[in-house]
Amino acid sequence: MTGKKIVIIGPAHPIRGGLAAFNERLARQLAAQGNDVSIHTFSFQYPEFMFPGKTQYAAGHGPADLRIHRTVHSLNPLNWRKTGLRIRKERPDMVIIAYWLPLMAMSLGTIAKMVRRNGHTRVVGLVHNLIPHEKRPGDALLTRYFVNNCDAFITLSKEVLADIRKITAKPAVFAPHPVYDSFGDALPSTEARRHLGLDANKRYLLFFGFIRAYKGLDLLLEAMRDERIAAMANLELIVAGEFYEDRKKYEPLLGPNVRLVSDFIPEQEVKYYFSAADLVVQPYKTATQSGISQMAYHFEIPMLVTAVGGLPEIVPDGKAGYVTAPDPKAIADGILRFLSQPPGLFSAFIREQKQLYSWEHFVNTLGSLQ
Q: What is the DSSP string of 304-331?
A: EEESSTTHHHHS-BTTTEEEE-SSHHHH
In a domain, 365, yes or no: no
Same domain, 242 and 202: yes
* Domain end (from 174, 209, 243): 174
Q: Could you tell me if residue 56 is inside a domain?
A: yes
pLDDT by residue for the chain (370 residues), tens digit each?
789 999 999 999 998 888 999 999 999 999 999 999 999 999 988 776 656 666 667 777 778 899 999 999 999 999 999 999 999 999 999 999 999 999 999 999 999 999 999 999 999 999 999 987 667 788 999 999 999 999 999 999 888 999 999 999 999 999 999 998 888 999 999 999 999 999 999 999 999 998 989 999 999 999 999 999 999 999 999 999 989 888 899 999 999 999 999 888 988 999 999 999 999 999 999 877 778 999 999 999 999 999 998 899 889 999 999 999 999 999 999 999 999 999 889 999 999 998 889 999 999 999 999 8
DSSP letter for each residue of 248-287? GGTGGG--TTEEEE-SPPPGGGHHHHHHH-SEEEE--SS-
Q: Is residue 119 part of a domain?
A: yes
Same domain, 230 and 147: no
Based on the fold, state whether residues 317 and 205 are members of the same structural domain. yes
Residues 10 and 61 in one domain: yes
pLDDT tens digit sequence for 126-153: 999 998 766 778 899 999 999 999 999 9
DSSP at 214? G
Task: Please give the tally of structural domains in the chain.
Answer: 2
88-91: list long-range contacts, CB under 8 Å, 24+ apart: 88/114, 88/115, 88/117, 88/118, 88/121, 89/118, 90/5, 90/7, 91/5, 91/118, 91/120, 91/121
One domain for residues 121 and 195: no
Instruction: Look at residue 150 and tell me if it is in a domain.
Output: yes
Q: Is residue 100 part of a domain?
A: yes
What is the CATH classification number for the domain harbouring 249?
A: 3.40.50.2000
Answer yes or no: do 76 and 137 share one domain: yes
Has residue 183 been placed in a domain?
no
Query: pLDDT value at position 356?
Result: 86
Domain shared by 232 and 345, yes or no:
yes
Same domain, 22 and 123: yes
Domain containing residue 312: 189-355
Q: Which of 115, 149, 174 is the last residue of a domain?
A: 174
116 with 261, same domain: the answer is no
> Angle CA(207)–CA(211)–CA(217) in degrees, nearest 5?
55
* Within a domain: 360: no
According to the model, what pLDDT value does residue 272 have?
98
Residues 210 and 264 in one domain: yes
Residues 31 and 167 in one domain: yes
In a domain, 367, yes or no: no
What pLDDT shows up at residue 49? Answer: 60
Q: What is the 3-state secondary structure (H, E, C) of 136-156?
A: CCCHHHHHHHHHHCCCEEEEC
**CATH code, domain with 29:** 3.40.50.11930
Of 147, 174, 201, at which residue does a domain stop? 174
| Global pTM value | 0.82
Same domain, 165 and 243: no
